[in-house]
Protein backbone atom coordinates (compact mmCIF):
# COMPACT_ATOMS: atom_id res chain seq x y z
CA UNK A 1 0.00 0.00 0.00
CA UNK A 2 1.22 3.50 -0.88
CA UNK A 3 -0.20 6.54 0.90
CA UNK A 4 -0.73 9.97 -0.65
CA UNK A 5 1.88 11.25 1.85
CA UNK A 6 4.55 8.86 0.55
CA UNK A 7 4.00 10.14 -2.98
CA UNK A 8 3.84 13.83 -2.07
CA UNK A 9 6.87 13.58 0.26
CA UNK A 10 8.84 12.05 -2.58
CA UNK A 11 7.75 14.77 -5.04
CA UNK A 12 8.58 17.45 -2.47
CA UNK A 13 12.01 15.94 -1.99
CA UNK A 14 12.58 16.56 -5.73
CA UNK A 15 10.78 19.92 -5.85
CA UNK A 16 10.48 21.38 -2.31
CA UNK A 17 7.39 23.53 -1.71
CA UNK A 18 9.63 26.36 -0.51
CA UNK A 19 10.95 26.69 -4.07
CA UNK A 20 7.55 27.83 -5.40
CA UNK A 21 6.92 31.48 -6.30
CA UNK A 22 5.11 33.63 -3.74
CA UNK A 23 1.89 33.83 -5.83
CA UNK A 24 1.64 30.06 -6.23
CA UNK A 25 -0.45 27.41 -4.47
CA UNK A 26 1.50 24.15 -4.74
CA UNK A 27 0.91 21.08 -2.61
CA UNK A 28 -2.15 19.07 -1.64
CA UNK A 29 -5.33 21.02 -2.51
CA UNK A 30 -7.99 18.40 -1.66
CA UNK A 31 -7.76 15.04 0.08
CA UNK A 32 -5.97 13.67 3.08
CA UNK A 33 -2.31 12.67 3.18
CA UNK A 34 -2.98 9.50 5.12
CA UNK A 35 -5.35 8.16 2.42
CA UNK A 36 -4.22 5.15 0.44
CA UNK A 37 -3.25 6.16 -3.09
CA UNK A 38 -5.07 3.69 -5.35
CA UNK A 39 -3.79 5.27 -8.55
CA UNK A 40 -2.51 8.61 -9.80
CA UNK A 41 -3.54 10.49 -12.91
CA UNK A 42 -0.87 12.91 -14.12
CA UNK A 43 -2.14 16.01 -15.92
CA UNK A 44 -1.06 19.51 -16.88
CA UNK A 45 -4.33 21.06 -15.65
CA UNK A 46 -6.96 19.75 -13.27
CA UNK A 47 -10.43 20.25 -14.76
CA UNK A 48 -13.83 18.57 -14.26
CA UNK A 49 -13.06 16.33 -17.25
CA UNK A 50 -9.78 15.28 -15.62
CA UNK A 51 -11.64 14.39 -12.38
CA UNK A 52 -14.08 12.35 -14.52
CA UNK A 53 -11.14 10.54 -16.09
CA UNK A 54 -9.69 9.86 -12.62
CA UNK A 55 -13.03 8.33 -11.51
CA UNK A 56 -13.26 6.19 -14.67
CA UNK A 57 -9.69 4.90 -14.31
CA UNK A 58 -9.89 4.22 -10.54
CA UNK A 59 -7.37 6.93 -9.61
CA UNK A 60 -7.98 8.80 -6.34
CA UNK A 61 -5.06 11.17 -6.83
CA UNK A 62 -4.67 13.78 -9.57
CA UNK A 63 -1.18 15.22 -9.85
CA UNK A 64 -1.39 18.39 -11.94
CA UNK A 65 1.21 20.98 -12.87
CA UNK A 66 -1.18 23.96 -12.59
CA UNK A 67 -3.01 24.41 -9.26
CA UNK A 68 -6.78 24.44 -9.84
CA UNK A 69 -7.14 26.87 -6.90
CA UNK A 70 -4.94 29.95 -7.27
CA UNK A 71 -6.74 32.48 -5.09
CA UNK A 72 -9.06 32.26 -2.09
CA UNK A 73 -12.41 30.56 -2.71
CA UNK A 74 -15.29 31.93 -0.62
CA UNK A 75 -18.23 29.99 -2.04
CA UNK A 76 -18.67 26.39 -3.15
CA UNK A 77 -21.84 26.52 -5.19
CA UNK A 78 -20.47 25.24 -8.48
CA UNK A 79 -20.88 28.60 -10.24
CA UNK A 80 -17.57 28.27 -12.12
CA UNK A 81 -15.25 25.50 -13.31
CA UNK A 82 -12.90 25.88 -10.33
CA UNK A 83 -15.68 25.37 -7.76
CA UNK A 84 -17.21 22.53 -9.79
CA UNK A 85 -13.85 20.74 -10.09
CA UNK A 86 -13.21 21.03 -6.35
CA UNK A 87 -16.74 19.88 -5.47
CA UNK A 88 -16.49 16.88 -7.77
CA UNK A 89 -13.09 15.92 -6.34
CA UNK A 90 -14.30 16.14 -2.73
CA UNK A 91 -17.54 14.25 -3.43
CA UNK A 92 -15.54 11.44 -5.01
CA UNK A 93 -12.71 11.34 -2.42
CA UNK A 94 -10.13 12.43 -4.95
CA UNK A 95 -6.97 14.14 -3.80
CA UNK A 96 -5.66 16.95 -6.00
CA UNK A 97 -1.97 17.77 -5.80
CA UNK A 98 -0.25 20.66 -7.61
CA UNK A 99 3.47 20.73 -8.45
CA UNK A 100 3.90 24.00 -10.30
CA UNK A 101 6.59 26.69 -9.96
CA UNK A 102 8.54 24.48 -7.54
CA UNK A 103 8.96 22.03 -10.44
CA UNK A 104 9.72 24.94 -12.81
CA UNK A 105 12.50 26.13 -10.54
CA UNK A 106 14.49 22.96 -9.91
CA UNK A 107 17.40 21.90 -12.09
CA UNK A 108 15.82 18.61 -13.14
CA UNK A 109 12.37 20.04 -13.70
CA UNK A 110 10.16 21.45 -16.46
CA UNK A 111 12.92 23.37 -18.27
CA UNK A 112 15.47 20.56 -18.21
CA UNK A 113 12.83 18.39 -19.88
CA UNK A 114 12.41 20.98 -22.67
CA UNK A 115 16.22 21.23 -23.06
CA UNK A 116 16.49 17.45 -23.32
CA UNK A 117 13.75 17.34 -25.96
CA UNK A 118 15.76 19.83 -28.02
CA UNK A 119 19.05 18.01 -27.44
CA UNK A 120 20.68 20.93 -25.59
CA UNK A 121 23.69 20.36 -23.35
CA UNK A 122 25.54 22.28 -20.59
CA UNK A 123 22.13 23.29 -19.27
CA UNK A 124 22.24 25.86 -16.49
CA UNK A 125 19.57 27.70 -14.51
CA UNK A 126 19.14 31.11 -16.17
CA UNK A 127 18.14 33.17 -13.17
CA UNK A 128 19.20 31.45 -9.92
CA UNK A 129 17.29 32.25 -6.73
CA UNK A 130 18.81 33.90 -3.70
CA UNK A 131 17.85 33.66 -0.01
CA UNK A 132 17.45 29.89 -0.09
CA UNK A 133 20.67 29.11 1.79
CA UNK A 134 21.63 29.40 5.44
CA UNK A 135 24.81 28.96 7.42
CA UNK A 136 25.14 27.03 10.65
CA UNK A 137 27.93 27.80 13.10
CA UNK A 138 28.25 25.53 16.11
CA UNK A 139 30.80 24.70 18.81
CA UNK A 140 31.74 21.05 19.33
CA UNK A 141 34.01 19.49 21.98
CA UNK A 142 37.11 18.05 20.30
CA UNK A 143 36.25 14.37 20.82
CA UNK A 144 32.78 14.70 19.36
CA UNK A 145 33.75 16.68 16.26
CA UNK A 146 33.76 13.73 13.82
CA UNK A 147 30.38 12.38 14.99
CA UNK A 148 28.60 15.77 14.95
CA UNK A 149 29.96 16.90 11.57
CA UNK A 150 29.09 13.50 10.09
CA UNK A 151 25.50 13.76 11.39
CA UNK A 152 25.15 17.28 9.94
CA UNK A 153 26.41 16.15 6.52
CA UNK A 154 24.09 13.14 6.58
CA UNK A 155 21.17 15.49 7.26
CA UNK A 156 21.97 17.34 4.03
CA UNK A 157 24.30 20.15 5.14
CA UNK A 158 27.55 20.97 3.34
CA UNK A 159 26.56 20.80 -0.35
CA UNK A 160 28.03 23.44 -2.68
CA UNK A 161 27.74 22.74 -6.43
CA UNK A 162 29.52 19.47 -7.18
CA UNK A 163 31.01 19.29 -3.68
CA UNK A 164 29.63 17.64 -0.57
CA UNK A 165 30.74 17.62 3.10
CA UNK A 166 32.03 21.19 2.83
CA UNK A 167 32.75 22.88 6.14
CA UNK A 168 35.30 24.96 8.00
CA UNK A 169 36.65 24.32 11.49
CA UNK A 170 38.78 26.27 13.91
CA UNK A 171 40.04 25.20 17.34
CA UNK A 172 39.32 27.41 20.37
CA UNK A 173 38.16 27.45 23.96
CA UNK A 174 34.53 27.38 25.03
CA UNK A 175 33.36 28.33 28.53
CA UNK A 176 30.20 27.78 30.60
CA UNK A 177 28.88 27.65 34.16
CA UNK A 178 25.74 25.58 34.76
CA UNK A 179 23.17 26.65 37.39
CA UNK A 180 21.55 24.37 40.03
CA UNK A 181 19.10 22.98 37.46
CA UNK A 182 21.80 22.10 34.92
CA UNK A 183 23.19 18.68 34.14
CA UNK A 184 26.50 19.40 32.41
CA UNK A 185 28.09 16.64 30.30
CA UNK A 186 31.51 18.04 31.18
CA UNK A 187 32.28 19.62 34.59
CA UNK A 188 29.86 20.24 37.47
CA UNK A 189 26.98 22.55 38.51
CA UNK A 190 28.08 26.01 39.61
CA UNK A 191 31.65 25.57 38.43
CA UNK A 192 33.13 27.61 35.56
CA UNK A 193 34.28 25.11 32.98
CA UNK A 194 36.66 25.73 30.06
CA UNK A 195 36.70 23.16 27.28
CA UNK A 196 38.70 22.81 24.08
CA UNK A 197 36.08 23.09 21.33
CA UNK A 198 35.93 23.34 17.57
CA UNK A 199 33.99 26.15 15.92
CA UNK A 200 32.45 24.45 12.91
CA UNK A 201 30.58 26.15 10.09
CA UNK A 202 28.69 24.71 7.15
CA UNK A 203 25.97 25.67 4.67
CA UNK A 204 22.50 24.17 4.13
CA UNK A 205 19.32 24.84 2.11
CA UNK A 206 16.86 26.71 4.36
CA UNK A 207 14.02 24.21 3.87
CA UNK A 208 15.94 21.41 5.64
CA UNK A 209 16.70 23.50 8.77
CA UNK A 210 14.57 21.27 11.02
CA UNK A 211 16.50 18.18 9.81
CA UNK A 212 19.87 19.84 10.32
CA UNK A 213 18.97 21.06 13.81
CA UNK A 214 17.59 17.66 14.73
CA UNK A 215 20.89 16.07 13.63
CA UNK A 216 22.84 18.67 15.62
CA UNK A 217 20.87 18.14 18.83
CA UNK A 218 20.91 14.34 18.58
CA UNK A 219 24.65 14.05 17.89
CA UNK A 220 25.99 16.85 20.12
CA UNK A 221 26.83 15.76 23.70
CA UNK A 222 25.87 19.02 25.48
CA UNK A 223 22.62 19.67 27.35
CA UNK A 224 22.50 23.16 25.77
CA UNK A 225 24.00 23.24 22.31
CA UNK A 226 25.39 26.64 21.27
CA UNK A 227 24.79 27.45 17.61
CA UNK A 228 24.06 30.38 15.27
CA UNK A 229 22.04 30.34 12.07
CA UNK A 230 22.66 33.05 9.48
CA UNK A 231 20.53 33.74 6.40
CA UNK A 232 22.74 33.99 3.29
CA UNK A 233 22.23 36.23 0.27
CA UNK A 234 24.19 33.83 -1.98
CA UNK A 235 22.40 32.49 -5.07
CA UNK A 236 21.62 28.78 -5.21
CA UNK A 237 22.67 27.90 -8.76
CA UNK A 238 20.56 24.77 -8.97
CA UNK A 239 17.25 26.53 -8.27
CA UNK A 240 15.63 29.34 -10.25
CA UNK A 241 13.80 30.41 -13.39
CA UNK A 242 14.48 29.44 -16.97
CA UNK A 243 17.37 27.44 -18.37
CA UNK A 244 20.08 28.04 -20.93
CA UNK A 245 21.85 25.37 -22.93
CA UNK A 246 23.74 24.83 -26.17
CA UNK A 247 23.08 22.98 -29.39
CA UNK A 248 25.80 20.49 -30.26
CA UNK A 249 26.27 22.14 -33.65
CA UNK A 250 25.08 25.62 -34.59
CA UNK A 251 22.24 25.69 -37.12
CA UNK A 252 20.35 28.14 -39.33
CA UNK A 253 17.45 29.94 -37.67
CA UNK A 254 14.79 28.46 -39.96
CA UNK A 255 16.26 25.01 -39.43
CA UNK A 256 16.03 25.59 -35.67
CA UNK A 257 12.40 26.76 -35.93
CA UNK A 258 11.60 23.48 -37.72
CA UNK A 259 13.40 21.58 -34.98
CA UNK A 260 11.26 23.32 -32.32
CA UNK A 261 8.08 22.44 -34.23
CA UNK A 262 9.10 18.82 -34.50
CA UNK A 263 10.64 18.17 -31.07
CA UNK A 264 8.21 20.24 -29.02
CA UNK A 265 5.09 19.37 -31.08
CA UNK A 266 4.38 23.08 -31.58
CA UNK A 267 1.82 23.62 -34.31
CA UNK A 268 2.33 27.39 -34.40
CA UNK A 269 5.34 29.51 -33.44
CA UNK A 270 4.99 33.29 -33.03
CA UNK A 271 8.49 34.72 -33.35
CA UNK A 272 10.34 38.04 -33.67
CA UNK A 273 12.51 38.95 -36.67
CA UNK A 274 15.23 36.46 -37.52
CA UNK A 275 18.78 37.76 -37.05
CA UNK A 276 20.48 36.09 -39.99
CA UNK A 277 22.97 34.33 -37.75
CA UNK A 278 23.39 30.77 -36.62
CA UNK A 279 21.74 29.45 -33.46
CA UNK A 280 23.97 27.93 -30.79
CA UNK A 281 22.86 29.16 -27.33
CA UNK A 282 19.20 28.63 -26.48
CA UNK A 283 17.21 29.84 -23.48
CA UNK A 284 13.94 28.16 -22.51
CA UNK A 285 11.20 28.83 -19.99
CA UNK A 286 8.14 26.58 -19.81
CA UNK A 287 4.93 28.60 -19.41
CA UNK A 288 4.84 32.40 -19.28
CA UNK A 289 8.45 33.56 -19.64
CA UNK A 290 8.38 37.22 -20.70
CA UNK A 291 9.53 38.29 -17.21
CA UNK A 292 12.89 36.66 -17.99
CA UNK A 293 13.63 38.48 -21.26
CA UNK A 294 16.24 40.89 -19.81
CA UNK A 295 18.19 38.01 -18.22
CA UNK A 296 17.96 36.06 -21.47
CA UNK A 297 19.42 38.95 -23.49
CA UNK A 298 22.25 39.40 -20.96
CA UNK A 299 22.99 35.66 -21.13
CA UNK A 300 23.85 36.01 -24.83
CA UNK A 301 21.33 33.41 -25.99
CA UNK A 302 20.41 33.41 -29.70
CA UNK A 303 16.86 32.14 -29.17
CA UNK A 304 14.33 32.28 -26.33
CA UNK A 305 11.65 29.57 -26.38
CA UNK A 306 8.71 30.28 -24.10
CA UNK A 307 5.06 31.40 -24.25
CA UNK A 308 2.47 34.08 -23.43
CA UNK A 309 4.38 37.04 -24.92
CA UNK A 310 2.13 40.06 -25.52
CA UNK A 311 2.31 42.20 -28.68
CA UNK A 312 4.33 45.04 -27.09
CA UNK A 313 6.65 42.65 -25.31
CA UNK A 314 7.84 41.27 -28.66
CA UNK A 315 9.36 44.73 -29.38
CA UNK A 316 11.61 44.31 -26.34
CA UNK A 317 13.65 41.74 -28.26
CA UNK A 318 15.32 44.80 -29.89
CA UNK A 319 16.82 42.51 -32.56
CA UNK A 320 19.20 41.14 -29.94
CA UNK A 321 17.49 37.79 -29.72
CA UNK A 322 14.76 35.77 -31.41
CA UNK A 323 11.74 35.21 -29.16
CA UNK A 324 9.87 32.04 -30.12
CA UNK A 325 6.45 31.84 -28.46
CA UNK A 326 5.24 28.27 -28.92
CA UNK A 327 2.11 28.38 -26.70
CA UNK A 328 1.73 27.76 -22.97
CA UNK A 329 0.34 24.24 -23.20
CA UNK A 330 2.87 23.25 -25.86
CA UNK A 331 5.81 24.49 -23.80
CA UNK A 332 4.75 22.47 -20.76
CA UNK A 333 3.16 19.38 -22.26
CA UNK A 334 6.17 17.15 -21.51
CA UNK A 335 5.91 17.95 -17.80
CA UNK A 336 3.39 15.08 -17.62
CA UNK A 337 6.02 12.64 -18.92
CA UNK A 338 8.56 14.04 -16.50
CA UNK A 339 6.21 13.45 -13.54
CA UNK A 340 5.24 9.97 -14.70
CA UNK A 341 8.91 9.00 -15.12
CA UNK A 342 9.72 10.28 -11.62
CA UNK A 343 6.84 8.28 -10.11
CA UNK A 344 7.74 5.09 -11.98
CA UNK A 345 11.35 5.37 -10.84
CA UNK A 346 10.38 5.42 -7.15
CA UNK A 347 7.12 3.42 -7.18
CA UNK A 348 7.52 0.96 -10.08
CA UNK A 349 4.45 -1.10 -9.18
CA UNK A 350 2.16 1.85 -8.41
CA UNK A 351 -0.65 2.58 -10.90
CA UNK A 352 0.28 5.99 -12.28
CA UNK A 353 -0.95 7.01 -15.72
CA UNK A 354 -0.88 9.96 -18.09
CA UNK A 355 -4.11 11.89 -18.40
CA UNK A 356 -5.70 11.41 -21.84
CA UNK A 357 -7.93 14.50 -21.65
CA UNK A 358 -6.44 17.36 -23.69
CA UNK A 359 -6.79 20.29 -21.32
CA UNK A 360 -5.37 22.95 -23.67
CA UNK A 361 -8.07 25.68 -23.76
CA UNK A 362 -6.54 27.24 -26.90
CA UNK A 363 -7.31 26.06 -30.42
CA UNK A 364 -5.65 27.12 -33.69
CA UNK A 365 -7.88 27.52 -36.74
ZN1 LIG B 1 2.08 26.82 -16.96
For residues 212 and 88, the answer to whether their CB atoms sit within 8 Å is no
Spell out the per-residue pLDDT of the chain, length 365, in tens.
999 999 999 999 999 999 999 999 999 999 999 999 999 999 999 999 999 999 999 999 999 999 999 988 999 999 999 999 999 999 999 999 999 999 999 999 999 999 999 999 999 999 999 999 999 999 999 999 999 999 999 999 999 989 999 999 999 999 999 999 999 999 999 999 999 999 999 999 999 999 999 999 999 999 999 999 999 999 999 999 999 999 999 999 999 999 999 999 999 999 999 999 999 999 999 999 999 999 999 999 999 999 999 999 999 999 999 999 999 999 999 999 999 999 999 999 999 999 999 999 999 99
Report how far ligand 1's centroid is from the alpha carbon of 312 (Å): 21
Report how far ligand 1's centroid is from the alpha carbon of 238 (Å): 20
How far, in Å, are 10, 12, 65, 194, 264 from residue 2 at the CA level? Answer: 12, 16, 21, 52, 33
Query: Which residues, including other chains, have CB under 8 Å from residue 297's CB and lie 6 or more apart?
Result: 317, 318, 320, 321
Query: Which residues, including other chains, have CB under 8 Å from residue 327's CB and lie 6 or more apart?
Result: 266, 267, 268, 307, 360, 362
DSSP bridge partners of 235: 130
Report how far ligand 1's centroid is from the alpha carbon of 332 (Å): 6
For residues 127 and 296, the answer to whether their CB atoms sit within 8 Å is no
Report how far ligand 1's centroid is from the alpha carbon of 174 (Å): 53
Amino acid sequence: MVTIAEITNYLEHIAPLSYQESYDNCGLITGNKSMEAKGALVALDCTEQVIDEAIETGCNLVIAHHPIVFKGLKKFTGSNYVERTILKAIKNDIAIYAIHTNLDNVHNGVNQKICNKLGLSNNQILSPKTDLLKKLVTFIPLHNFEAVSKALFEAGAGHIGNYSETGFSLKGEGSFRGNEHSNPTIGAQGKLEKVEEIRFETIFPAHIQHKVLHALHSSHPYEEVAYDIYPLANALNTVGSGMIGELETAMEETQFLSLIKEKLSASCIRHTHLQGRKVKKVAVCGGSGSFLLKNVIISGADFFITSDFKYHEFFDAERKIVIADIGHYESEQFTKDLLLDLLMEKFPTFAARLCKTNTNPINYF
